[in-house]
Amino acid sequence: MSQGNPILGTSPLRKEGRAKVLGATQYIDDLTLPGLWHGTTIRSTIARGRIKSITFDPQINWSEYAIVRAADIPGENSIVHLTRDHPCLAATEINHVAEPILLLAHPEKSALLAARSAIHIDYDELPGVFTIEASEAAVEALHHDPNATSNIIWSGSNSGGTPNCFKQYQMHTGEADETEDALAAAFESADFIITGEYTTGAQEQLYIEPNGVIAECDIDPATGHIRGVTVRGSMQCPYYLVHALALVFNLPEENCRVLQVETGGAFGGKEDFPSVIGSHAALLAMKCGHPVKIIYDRSEDMAATTKRHPSRTRIRTAVSRDGKLLAGTIDIALDGGAYATLSPVVLSRATLHAPGPYKWPHLRVRAKAMATNIPPHGAFRGFGAPQSLFALERHIDKIAHTLGLTPEEIRRRNFLSTGDRTATGQLLTEPVDMQHLLTRALADSGYHARRDRFAAENPTSRIKRGIGIAAFMHGAGFTGSGERRLNSLVHLDILPNGLPQILVSSTEFGQGTNTILCQVAAEALALPYDDILIHQPDTTLVPDSGPTVASRTAMIVGKLVERAAHQILTTLRTHASLPTPHTRAQFIAAAQSYLTRHNHLRASTRYQPATKIHWDDDLYRGDAYPAYAWAVYVAEVAVDLSTYTATVTRFDALQEVGRVLHPILARGQIEGGIAQGIGYALYEKCVYQNGHLMNNQMTNYIMPTSADLPTIHVYFEETPSPHGPGGAKGIGELPMDGPAPAILNAIEDATGIAFTAIPLLPEDIFERLTAYTTHPHGGTEDLNPATDLDTETESPRVSA
């Protein structure tokens, strides 16, 4: 297809990179509009209760301010995600700390500070439900007594759930009854039954740019009628915000315009949340008649926006003496927070990744997302998979230790391979070679030699070293029939200068969307990369090519761009005598000649599955994902017995992600994901007290610095896939899945102690290593977040 040098597989400069290194890129807080006002959010200081009264201190001249309450919302008071249970502003009931109650705007930012402290909200406070276990206990109580509703914090009615439970899934390897019989038989006769419980904590996305938007509202001056709203902001999914605005303002979607501004990191944290802050700013713009900017400061962003779902996974496995998995049951519970938001789909990905890259003759996965009085948990890179893969990959090591096999051998005896069926019954028709990935990962990382050396050195050292592995996969694209439902659309235009411009709603937030889509178009059109333009997403100009999530952009949207490019070539060859092959000049000449006659040239492509995809949502069986990326990660740790600190001292990551489109960007994705995974495992703990996130600052929410991370070695195995352009698959989320289990497996290798919970902090290691007392809690359970000995703290630092 292409002439000259190939573009896919090379590393051209990031499209918007020059502006970024010059500091010329304008993020949302760098923008202003004429007559701009500033907005702020008044939030609940309690986790659960009812608003009794709101008092405005008369010392403030409130007529200078725009004030929005729930009653001012012209449409429905709800932020639509999958359900409509999530209020845009709390009217009376409070379900989590930092729940928005009022919105204020003023031309002067400083005037908002004074006003915030002059609003007093009184509550009737109710005891909060803060953990999965407390939420389950309330459901249990309800089973015994239908009147025991005091701790039912989410009714479930009208939102597809049950009391305190947003969603449940049940997945079997076969027909349900038969599988249950087979499970019973297998557990009856197996050589070993091995059980385990694994927990993971909340994790903050910690994009370096906090959430922010600027909204405008177009009001007919004659009638006062709202004609439309426009929101610019830092976000991943412009069309999600369009849907939210349409409901809040009761406007047709075409009157809700959303523009994505250059976005300073997202990681899922700007998938669903911009619907909230975007609606808020638009309501203030409606009220004051001016553009309104809301920029969260760090502490508000951390206290009020989404985190990764905490989880608890229980695994029970029947295993033969020779290390074959015979049967298993996996029970997953996620803490969804106060409203459903994206929990059902996060739970779905957790369910579908729970079996890992293994053959399960008989398996049942049950999963549920429980309601708690914590700010809603939401999307974060990995989206449920890191939780269940942490549990499984720790459990596989437990099986190995129980049976006396090596971590390597237990995996080899159970890996899926080409032609096998996954636990959902998906036939793996494309090549899958986990055996080779494991062999290569161990060889490239020098695993065996290091493991032997540590075993020899550890007995005489205060520093215990260990090495651990994790084998896993990540499904690219939306689950099951999701991509068909999304029905993504892409346009490729030829501009008057004869050169192409890509129009997609896919957003750039550092991961490289602009660059790889332009590479795909350049390669397909046989044009230089620099000739391809991509338009900043503006929903009045770009089609809905789906959300920028789920490791789908390169594979799904990239394929659509590739197909659109081929359509353009066909058109120009058929109608404008473009020769095959062609030069750049010939392309431009043909394109301009076509434009002279037809005025415009646009190719539009809609999603079509590359292969037949069957998915049954009721049985939760079939082809769960169009394609999977596969990986084996190797972590080396050092545990210092003086300080009980575990440090990752080396990390090796081998993955098969199809064709690598841009080696530098791809490495950047893998390394960045691993860094977040190391933080997830060993550093990043969300410390809550009565539903308040107490460490909502960068100084006490501990993400790794450049001095904390090991050298990360990245290797790719390239097996072209039919699903993505040039053979690519999804890559973005995969690296989040493997580090935590590999690291805890390494810590067990180093210390002999099987830790089952993350984040694993030195205090937790200390309590287990020195477990000679019967201390009631121990470890980080004993943290007292109300106190900071370095800094006097009188009260929780929440945005109130």
Partner 1 sequence: MTTIHLTVNNQPHTLTVPPMKRLLDLLREDLSLTGTKEACGEGECGACAILLDTGSGPELVNSCLIPALQADNATLTTIEGLAPDAALHPIQQSFLQAGGAQCGICTPGMILATHHLLTQHPNPTEAQIREGLSGNLCRCTGYMRIFESIRQAATETAR
Partner 2 sequence: MRSDPTQFALTAPASLQAVLAQLAQNPGTHIPIAGGTELMVALAAGRLPRHSFLSISHLPELRFIRITPDAIHLGANTTFTDIRRNPTIAADLPLLTLAASWTGSIANQNRATLGGNLCNASPAADTPPALLVYDATVTLISSGAAPGEIVQRTLPYRDFYLAYKSTVLRPDELLHTITIPRAYSVHRHFLRKVGTRNAQAISKTALAALALVSESPATTSDSPSTTPCARHIQTIRLAAASLADRPIRLYATEAALQNASLAPAHLDATLRRARAAFATEAHPIDDIRSTARYRTAVAANLLEDFLRSLTT
* Burial letters 559-580, b for 16+ CB under 10 A, else e: bbbbbbbbbbbebbeeebebee
Q: Which does 188 bind (CB under 5 to 8 A by kind): partner 1, partner 2, none?
A: none
| 328 makes contact with partner 1 (CB under 8 A) | no
Look at residues 103, 153, 125 and name the one whose alpha carbon lies nearest to residue 52.
125
Between residues 188 and 782, which has the closer beta carbon with respect to partner 2?
Answer: 782
**789 binding partner 2? (CB under 8 A):** yes
Counting contacts by CB under 8 A, is residue 427 touching partner 1? Answer: no
3-state secondary structure of 380: coil
Q: Are 741 and 469 in contact (CB under 8 A)?
A: no
Residue 297 interacts with partner 1 (CB under 8 A)? yes
Residue 636 makes contact with partner 1 by CB under 8 A: no
* Residue 676 binds to partner 1 (criterion: CB under 8 A): yes
Token code pair at residue 279: 């609606």
Q: Which of 240, 304, 281, 295 is nearest to 27 (CA)?
A: 295
Chosen residue from 13, 113, 449, 771 binding partner 2 by CB under 8 A? 113
Cβ contact 114:60 at 8 Å: yes
Q: Which is nearer to partner 1, 209 or 216 (CB)?
A: 209
Q: Both tokens of residue 563?
A: 């197909």
Which CB sits closer to partner 2, 1 or 786?
Answer: 786
689 binds partner 1 (CB under 8 A): no
Smallest CA-to-CA distance from 266 within 295, 245, 237 is with 237
- Bridge partner list, 370: 165, 335
Q: Which is nearer to partner 1, 175 or 297 (CB)?
A: 297
Tracing tokens 């740790």 back to the chain, one arrives at 637
**Exposure b/e, 507-524, CB count within 10 A at least 16 = b:** bbbbbbbbbbbbbbbbbb
How many C-beta neighbours within 10 Å does residue 501 have?
17
> Quick one: 10 or 690, whose CB is closer to partner 2?
690
Total of chain residues touching partner 1, rule CB under 8 A: 55
Contact 131, 81 (CB under 8 A): no
Q: Which of 5, 23, 599, 790 binds partner 1 (CB under 8 A)?
A: 23
Contacting partner 1 (CB under 8 A), which of 27, 62, 192, 529?
27
Q: How far apart are CA 488 and CA 481, in angstroms?
A: 13
Q: Does 792 bind partner 2 (CB under 8 A)?
A: yes
Q: What residues numbered 632-671 form the site for partner 2, per CB under 8 A?
A: 641-645
Based on CB atoms, which residue is closest to partner 2, 523 or 767?
Answer: 767
Measured in residues, the chain has a length of 800
**Residue closer to partner 2, measured from CB, 550 or 678:** 678
Start-to-end Cα distance in the chain: 59
Cβ(116)–Cβ(69) below 8 Å:
no
Query: How far apart are CB 455 and partner 2 at their closest, in Å?
Result: 24
- Residue 644 touches partner 1, criterion: CB under 8 A: no
763 interacts with partner 2 by CB under 8 A: yes
Cis peptide before 785 (omega within 30 of 0): no
Q: Out of partner 2, partner 1, none, which partner does residue 782 contact, by CB within 5 to 8 A per kind?
A: partner 2
Query: Does 34 participate in binding partner 1 (rule CB under 8 A)?
Result: no
Q: Which of the ranges 31-39, 159-167, 231-239, 784-792 carries the binding residues for partner 2, by CB under 8 A?
A: 784-792
How does DSSP classify residue 253? Answer: G
Q: Which residue number, 483 or 684, has a Cβ lying nearer to partner 2? A: 684
Residue 61 interface partner, choices partner 1, partner 2, none, CB cut-off 5-8 Å depending on type: none
Contact 687, 783 (CB under 8 A): yes
Q: Are 712 and 414 in contact (CB under 8 A)?
A: no
655 sits near partner 1 (criterion: CB under 8 A)? no
Our CB check for partner 1 shows the closer of 26 and 608 to be: 26
- The residues, any chain, with a CB within 8 Å of residue 356's CB and separated by 6 or more, are 389, 392, 393, 396, 471, 472, 473
Q: Residue 492's closest CA among 558, 588, 548, 590?
A: 558
Q: Using the minimum distance from each CB to partner 1, give the nearer residue, 85 or 209.
A: 209
Is 683 a binding residue for partner 2 by CB under 8 A? The answer is yes
Distance CA 412, CA 363 (A): 19
Query: What 8-state DSSP symbol labels residue 709?
Result: P
* Listed ranges 215-223, 562-570, 650-658, 706-714: which one lies at the site for partner 2 (CB under 8 A): 706-714
User: Hey, what amino acid is at 713?
Assistant: H
Query: Tokens standing for 464?
Result: 């215990």
The answer to the question of residue 674 lying near partner 1 (CB under 8 A) is yes
User: If binding is defined by CB under 8 A, does position 699 make contact with partner 2?
Assistant: yes
107 binds partner 1 (CB under 8 A): no
- Please identify which residue in 84, 298, 440, 768 interacts with partner 1, judged by CB under 8 A: 298
676 binds, among partner 2, partner 1, none (CB under 5 to 8 A by kind): partner 1
Question: Is 21 one of the binding residues for partner 1 (CB under 8 A)?
Answer: yes
Q: Applying CB under 8 A, which part among 52-60, 173-181, 548-556, 705-713 lies near partner 1?
A: 705-713
Contact residue for partner 1 among 39, 87, 210, 738 (CB under 8 A): 210
Q: Which two tokens stand for residue 681?
A: 């495992």
Closest CA to 13 of 518, 559, 509: 518
Please state the separation of Cα 84 from the chain's center in Å. 21
Residues contacting partner 2: total by CB under 8 A: 45
User: Which residue, among 365, 336, 616, 631, has the nearest Cα to 475 in the 3D structure?
Assistant: 631
Q: Is 530 left (phi over 0), alpha (psi -120 to 50) or beta?
A: alpha
462 interface partner picked from partner 2, partner 1, none, CB below 5 to 8 A per type: partner 2
Amino acid in the structure at residue 198: Y
Tokens found for residue 419: 């032609």
Query: In this chain, which of 30, 64, 178, 322 binds partner 1, going by CB under 8 A?
Result: 30
Residue 785 binds partner 2 (CB under 8 A): yes
Q: What is the DSSP string of 438-479?
A: HHHHHHHTTHHHHHHHHHHHGGG-SEEEEEEEEEEEEEESSS
645 part of the interface to partner 1, by CB under 8 A: no
Contact status: 791 vs partner 2 (CB under 8 A): yes
483 to 522, contacts with partner 1 by CB under 8 A?
509-512
With binding defined as CB under 8 A, does residue 209 bind partner 1?
yes
When asked if residue 60 is in the footprint of partner 2 (CB under 8 A), the reply is no
- Among partner 1, partner 2, none, partner that 784 touches (CB below 5 to 8 angstroms by kind): partner 2
CB–CB of 568/499 below 8 Å?
Answer: no
Of these partners, partner 2, partner 1, none, which one is at the site of residue 25 (CB under 5 to 8 Å by kind)? partner 1
Q: Which is nearer to partner 2, 9 or 704 (CB)?
A: 704
Closest CA to 40 of 281, 291, 302: 281
Binding to partner 2 (CB under 8 A): which residues in 568-597? none
Q: Does 29 bind partner 1 (CB under 8 A)?
A: yes
List, in sequence order, every residue forming a beta bridge with 200; answer none if it has no partner: 311
Tell me, residue by residue from 299 to 328, as one string, x for binding to partner 2 by CB under 8 A and - for no binding.
Answer: x-----------------------------
Would you count residue 687 as binding partner 2 (CB under 8 A)? Answer: yes
Q: Alpha helices of 289-342 — where are they, by DSSP H?
A: 298-304
Task: Output the smallest distance, CB 159 to partner 1, in A.
Answer: 33
Nearer to partner 1, 19 or 113 (CB): 19
Helix (H) or strand (E) holding 288: helix 274-288
Verify cis geometry, omega within 30 degrees of 0, for the bond prior to 357.
Answer: no
Give me the residues that bind partner 2 (CB under 8 A), please: 110, 113-114, 297, 299, 462, 641-645, 683, 687, 694-695, 699-700, 702, 704-708, 762-763, 766-767, 770, 775, 778-780, 782-793, 797
Give me the residues that bind partner 1 (CB under 8 A), please: 11, 13-14, 16-27, 29-30, 205-210, 262-267, 297-298, 509-512, 664-665, 667-668, 671-676, 697-699, 703, 705-707, 709, 711-712
